[in-house]
Structure 1
Amino acid sequence: MSASLATGADPDTLVVSGWSAASPYGLGAQAFADGVRGDLDAVRGADGDADLGPYERAGRLPGFDARAVLGRKGTRAMDRATALAVTTAGLLLEEAGPGLAQDSPEAVGMVLGTGHGSVQSIMDFTRDSLTGEKPFHVDPALFPNTVMNRAAGQSAIWHTLRGPNTTVAGGAPTGLLALNYAARLLRQGHCEAVLCGAVEEFSAERAWLEYRARTGGPHQQPAGPLGEGCALFLLEPLGRARTHGRTPLASLLGTRFIAFNDQERARGAVVRAATEALKEADVRPDEVGLLVPSDCGGPLGGREDAALADLFGEHRPPRLRLRRLIGDSGAAAASFQLAAALTAGGDGTPVLVTSVDPDGQTGAVVLRTGTP
């Protein structure tokens, strides 16, 4: 009898069997976990010649240099977002054990979320085409950095992942969308395992765009400090994880995404997304042991908090608020929330992760941490 059958767990249950991160706490899952458990503030002032744009502080990955981490070959023209993704994928593959990608590279896919790709690369390349003697006097080696799927494609090439390769962009819930997309790939039999998550780089260009959008747009948000980084997860069926000697860290139980066309409707959208995700997971609200909201602040954050209060009533599970520690990491925010859930959730604890974006998207994911 297999180990899965012996424990009564369905071998087709999708589980997170590994993860890693490049965060303002440093490289690796352990650095992130230590920072979250210690409630450490990773948002710092500018160091050296760093340009933080309109902000005085930011949650930047300290001392990160692509050439120092990845070597000189292939990194001369690599943008920061791609370097963060390639590095994080390497850390995760190393943790997952030898053979994950090498033995059957076609069986391993990648789903990577992003905001716009590398904002700095897009703006630098455009500026060169406008200020150069002729519009085509640009460095062709830099052009690949301007397309949204650069980080996902380069990560797959660098680490020989030949399964499905997808880039997802959906605002703050992007990391949750990437996880859901990865689950669909697995359930439809397109691959056997997926690296999924999201990446966001910090740059002065992104800082100014975010600042102007927050303070001058129709959906004004608190102009708090920005963050950056990448968090990736290995998602695969329980049976496969055990066959390869990997201990499941959490089971994926339910997901739901709802759109709203007016921020006044955000509260109801969050309630609906969370309620339907919990129903799919067969988890009652009073069973949830940890909440990890997007904590975006301002009126929208207030509506998210009110929605969770509506849903849980007198049951008040602890809330892990991550943004105050690492800054607003944009498209990578929800992936860091998932990583925090794995870090802080107790064994067997149902965890609800929610995210809401001012452009009208909300998502909810239910995990059960620990071994099924």
Structure 2
Amino acid sequence: MSTTTAPVISAWTAISPFGPDRVCFAEGVRSRRVATAPPDPDRWSRVPEAMAGTVPGFEPREYLGNKGTRAMNRVSGLTVVAAKNLLADLEVPPGAARDDIGFVLGTTTGSAQSMMNLTRASLTGDKPDHVEPAAVPGCVMNCAAGQAAIWHGLKGPNATIAAGRTTGLQALDYSRRLLRAGRAARVLCGAAEEYSPARSWVEHHRRGGPAARAMGEGCAMFLVEPADQVPAGRTVLATLAGSDSRVCLDGYLPGAITAAVRSMLTRAGVGAHRVWAATGGDFLDTNGNAVESAVLRELFGDEVVDRVPDSGLIGDTSSATALFQLAAVLSVAEGAGRGDRDHAVVTAVDDDGSVACALFELGGSR
């Protein structure tokens, strides 16, 4: 049964370099604590960068037990644990019927480390087919989403979205369409990236040298559901009030970002004076200019942009950046006085020229 009511976010969680849950993330954001550090040489050998943002002591088996985790890669582990935490917060008991819960996950490639390991094994083994069979599923981009659905019995639609740094906002829009079409009653929507030597070296060579900021990892996840289906006792944290995406064709990214944000605000009927916070992934162009931040400051002013710290606190989380920024907005907004400024803008920009933005009415519709 389709629905036309606005999608809302009524719960969220995050496993990040700040710690294993939402509370740790919110405290880290509010204190503006930098969570990057030199990689542990005993755990992370042969990585090109001097600093990294990793989830402290994270190993899938430590959070999920030994059963079913022997061949689980890091990005799948982060995703499964985040989904476990969110379902626990919703008090959905293990084994409960979850046929109506969809799952949408954003990621860049899944696990680059799993892909590299399998490729190496196929080249160095006695024969090309002498590889560990259990390692093969981990090389598929939608492995993490599939693992989460199987682990938690989520039988609704299952999708993996890959759209560079705009992935998180595209995943939210995909979740909205699932709800509108009646494909799911509610959706767990998240984005995840792992830290690994393979991902570090891929980024190192893709950028032609050291990254502008440390690599980070983690998973941010949100419960998205129709506004008229939120049960009693669950608070609406934000309403998805608008979105826009486009591709910069003329090479002038500031113009594309400005056009996308202004178009979104116009369609939503929301003036810039009502935006309480505006945040992005702090995208830098090839000359090191903070293009994204500069546009947001021009549109909304320094106070609005500085209200929420940028994603550099936990490192570059690639496709998960936008959803971590949304989690940061909700962390800062909790208990904060906002007056007539009741909206937040989250933007995402990729170096391939893709641009996306989303508008959230904080605290739900009024």
- Report the TM-score when normalising by structure 1: 0.90
- Are residues 1:285 and 2:282 paired? no
Letter in 2 for 1:283: V
Counterpart position of 2:59: 65
Cα 1:315–1:73 change in 2 (3 A) is: closer
- 1:1-372 matches, cutoff 5 A: 12-51=5-44, 53-98=47-92, 102-103=96-97, 105-215=98-208, 222-243=211-232, 245-261=233-249, 264-298=251-285, 299=287, 302-312=290-300, 316-319=303-306, 320-345=308-333, 346=336, 349-372=342-365
Give the Cα–Cα distance (whole angstroms) in 1 for the partners of residues 91 and 101 of structure 2.
Answer: 14
Q: Quote how far apart the aligned CAs of 1:102 are.
A: 2.1
Letter in 2 for 1:227: G
Give the Cα–Cα distance (whole angstroms) in 2 for the partners of residues 318 and 309 of structure 1.
Answer: 6
Q: Quote how far apart the aligned CAs of 1:359 are.
A: 1.2
SS of the residue corresponding to residue 44 of structure 1 reads coil
Letter in 2 for 1:308: L
Letter in 1 for 2:345: L
Q: Quote how far apart the aligned CAs of 1:265 are.
A: 1.9
Give the Cα–Cα distance (whole angstroms) in 1 for the partners of residues 116 and 313 of structure 2.
Answer: 29
Q: Report if the CA contact (8 A) 1:295-1:321 is conserved.
A: no
Give the Cα–Cα distance (whole angstroms) in 1 for the partners of residues 317 and 101 of structure 2.
Answer: 27
Deviation track 1:307-332 (CA, whole Å, cap 9, x = no partner) reads: 224433x6852333322211001111
Q: Report if the CA contact (8 A) 1:255-1:280 is conserved.
A: no
Cα 1:301–1:231 change in 2 (3 A) is: farther
Deviates further, 344-353 or 272-281: 344-353
SS of the residue corresponding to residue 76 of structure 2 reads helix
Letter in 2 for 1:288: V
Segments of structure 1 that go 5 or more residues without pairing to the other structure are: 1-9
Q: Quote how far apart the aligned CAs of 1:283 are.
A: 1.1
Letter in 1 for 2:175: A
Q: Report if the CA contact (8 A) 2:283-2:291 is conserved.
A: no
Q: Quote how far apart the aligned CAs of 1:371 are.
A: 3.9
Letter in 2 for 1:188: A
Cα 1:187–1:11 change in 2 (3 A) is: closer
Q: Quote how far apart the aligned CAs of 1:301 are.
A: 5.2
SS of the residue corresponding to residue 246 of structure 2 reads strand
Q: Report if the CA contact (8 A) 1:82-1:155 is conserved.
A: yes
SS of the residue corresponding to residue 27 of structure 2 reads helix
Give the Cα–Cα distance (whole angstroms) in 1 for the partners of residues 94 and 272 of structure 2.
Answer: 37
Q: Quote how far apart the aligned CAs of 1:113 are.
A: 0.3
Give the Cα–Cα distance (whole angstroms) in 1 for the partners of residues 293 and 320 of structure 2.
Answer: 21
Letter in 2 for 1:19: W
Deviation track 1:9-67 (CA, whole Å, cap 9, x = no partner) reads: x9923110101111001111110000000110100112251226111110000001111
Q: Quote how far apart the aligned CAs of 1:277 are.
A: 1.9
SS of the residue corresponding to residue 106 of structure 1 reads coil
Cα 1:11–1:209 change in 2 (3 A) is: closer
Q: Report if the CA contact (8 A) 1:254-1:367 is conserved.
A: yes
Give the Cα–Cα distance (whole angstroms) in 2 for the partners of residues 308 and 35 of structure 1.
Answer: 23
Give the Cα–Cα distance (whole angstroms) in 2 for the partners of residues 66 and 284 of structure 1.
Answer: 45
Give the Cα–Cα distance (whole angstroms) in 2 for the partners of residues 177 and 112 of structure 1.
Answer: 10
CA RMSD of superposed structures (Å): 2.0
Give the Cα–Cα distance (whole angstroms) in 2 for the partners of residues 160 and 149 of structure 1.
Answer: 16
Cα 1:31–1:66 change in 2 (3 A) is: same
Give the Cα–Cα distance (whole angstroms) in 2 for the partners of residues 70 and 99 of structure 1.
Answer: 16
Give the Cα–Cα distance (whole angstroms) in 1 for the partners of residues 231 and 39 of structure 2.
Answer: 45
Give the Cα–Cα distance (whole angstroms) in 2 for the partners of residues 190 and 365 of structure 1.
Answer: 22
Q: Quote how far apart the aligned CAs of 1:137 are.
A: 0.5
Give the Cα–Cα distance (whole angstroms) in 1 for the partners of residues 82 and 14 of structure 2.
Answer: 6
Q: Quote how far apart the aligned CAs of 1:98 are.
A: 2.5
SS of the residue corresponding to residue 50 of structure 1 reads coil
SS of the residue corresponding to residue 242 of structure 1 reads coil
Give the Cα–Cα distance (whole angstroms) in 2 for the partners of residues 186 and 158 of structure 1.
Answer: 23
Query: What percent of counterpart residues are identical?
Result: 43
SS of the residue corresponding to residue 305 of structure 2 reads coil
Letter in 1 for 2:71: A
Give the Cα–Cα distance (whole angstroms) in 2 for the partners of residues 291 and 238 of structure 1.
Answer: 23
SS of the residue corresponding to residue 338 of structure 1 reads helix
